[in-house]
Structures are given as structure tokens and as C-alpha cells.
Structure 1
Amino acid sequence: MSSKTRTVLTAGVLAIALGLGATAQASAGAPRSVSGKTSDNITRIADFYGTYIDAVLDEDRGNLGKALRSHYLTPAFQKELAAWEDREHADGVLRAQNVPLAWKVTDNGTAGNHTEAVVTFTWGSGTTTKLVVDMTRGSHRIFHIGEKGVGRK
């Protein structure tokens, strides 16, 4: 990897880790670009998942992962997620015991006081799973993560 590539990658990871509202997009043969807005809930959900997955891959969930949960999830949902994890013996943010190879966040609309996104994970086997993630418009915090097609309680 060239030093220019390393510099660009390091800057991109730092921007996401600092919550600067970065999302990556690329097309075949074109240079990648990163953009986003800190006021946009879809950008914030993408920032959270990108950084959280990096933390889990780096086996740093005890530090960065916990801090990310504290920053991006409502306190009530953090408790709900902990109960889910105890019951299911899996990571509640990913709804899995392992880490996806790729992820994509898609806007699924706004209703009332929250934004809904669909997060699609691609796993090593090539299969995909989808989660529905809800974030408040006011506090920009996640208050629900659930499997797509499974209703909330």
C-alpha cells in the first residue's frame, strides 16, 4: 500500500471515528469520495456502524465499542440491548456472533419524530441480513435496532 493510500485511509478512518459525518461512496474505476452531514440521521447511523464494526474487528469493544454505544444509543435502549445480548449470546448492535464483511445503510423514511434506516450486512458466505434502525430526529440517538420484518414490541 502506498503512503498516499495509507494517508487517505487514515484520514477517512479518523473522520469516521471522530463522528465527522463521513460516508463513503464509490463507482467502478472512479476515485472514492467521502461526504455527509452531521445533522443527517442516515449519515450518523452509517458513521456509528462503520466505526462500531471497526472497533469489533480490532477487538476493542471494551473501550471504543462501549463509548460508541454510550454516544449513539439512548440510555433506555442500551439497557434493552444488554438484556437482548444476555439472552441471545450475540452482539445486539450487529445481531450476530461475528462481524460482517460489508455493510450498507439505506434511508427508509421519516415518521413522526424519528428516522428509520435499513442496515444491510454482507457476511463471509455471501449471504445478507437486514436490520431496521430507528434514530430520534431531536437527539440523533438510536432507540431501536431490530431484524427487518420483525415488529417492535
Structure 2
Amino acid sequence: MNGKHRTARRTVLACALALGLGLGVVAEASAGAPRSVSGASSDNLTRIADFYGTYIDAVTDENSGGLPDGLRAHYLSTAFQKRLAAWESREHANGVLRAQDVPAAWKVTERGTNAAGTTEAVVTLTWGGGVTTEVVVDMNRDHRIFRIGDTV
């Protein structure tokens, strides 16, 4: 076999190997179990997670119009909305996110629910570069957030 044929053969084998490896990666990636998310509208932890997920999407999306304000009106108690507006004016930042930027990811972890039906959760916000911050969120039994503050 001359040199040209060997080079052509190697090229064909290399392409076949690359294609085979590529298909293996695709098959391996698609072989994982499907993800699922569940919740209940009666559960405060679900509501806190729903609020943060939707709020972050609305703030991120340029065409969301007044959706962030609508979400605040729906999920935050009236008294807290006023306190939050005062905090934002003083701090020049988004009071829900406690920042001027929007996080790339979020996670909500329940700390507990007391006898009065108040749920406390920690929201971990992940920013660019993997930096995280945490805020404590309290929701009452009427499913309204009445406090967002620093973790203790």
C-alpha cells in the first residue's frame, strides 16, 4: 500500500472514530434520568421557590414589562412592600435579590415552620464566577413574604 492510501485510510479511520465517539457522548448524555420538580400551592417552601424562580426570570427577561412588580404585589405582604421600597431607595439595589445584578441560579432551603404557620427559608443566590450569597425569607400562613434579610 502506498503512502497516499495509508494517509487516506488513516483519515477515514480517524473520522469514523471521531463520529463513533461523538455518538457515544450523545448516547451517554441522553441516558440520564429525566429531572422533575414538584410542589404544592399550599406549601410555603414551594411558594418561596416559585417566587424566586419567576422573579429572577422576569428581571432577566428584557420584555417582561411590569411582571416583576406584579409578582411583588402577589407574593409580598403590603407592609413589606413598603419597607422593601424604603430599603431599595436607601441601598440603591434590588431588595428581593439584595444586589444590583441578577443571579445565574438560586436554591431555596427550608429552615422550618413554627406553630403560627410562619415558614423561614434560606435562598442561596449564585452569581457569575460561582460566588454565592444567602438571604433569609419569611412567609406567613397566608402565603405572603413579610421579610427578606441577611442570614444570621
TM-score w.r.t. the length of structure 1 is 0.75
For 1:77, give the aligned amino acid. F
Deviations 1:91-133 (A, max 9, x none): 0000000011110000100124210000001110211100000
Cross-structure match for 2:151: 148
Q: Percent identity?
A: 71
Moved more, 60-69 or 83-92: 60-69
Cross-structure match for 1:15: none
Q: Report whether the alignment pairs 1:126 with 2:136.
A: no
**Higher helix proportion:** 2
Question: Which structure has the larger Rg over C-alpha atoms?
Answer: 2
CA distance in 2, matches of 1:60, 1:83: 26
Which of 41, 47, 50 is 1:47 aligned to? 50
Which of 121, 126, 129 is 1:117 aligned to? 121
Instruction: Provide the alpha-carbon RMSD of the alignment.
Output: 1.5
Equivalent residue runs for 1:1-153 within 5 Å: 29-59=32-62, 62-113=65-116, 114-137=118-141, 139-149=142-152
**Higher strand proportion:** 1
**Post-superposition, which runs of at least 4 consecutive aligned residues in structure 1 deviate over 2 A?**
59-62
For 1:81, give the aligned amino acid. L
* Count of residues in Structure 1 that have an aligned counterpart in Structure 2: 121
Structure 2 spans left out of the alignment, 5+ residues = 1-30
Aligned-residue offset at 1:135: 0.1
Cross-structure match for 2:28: none
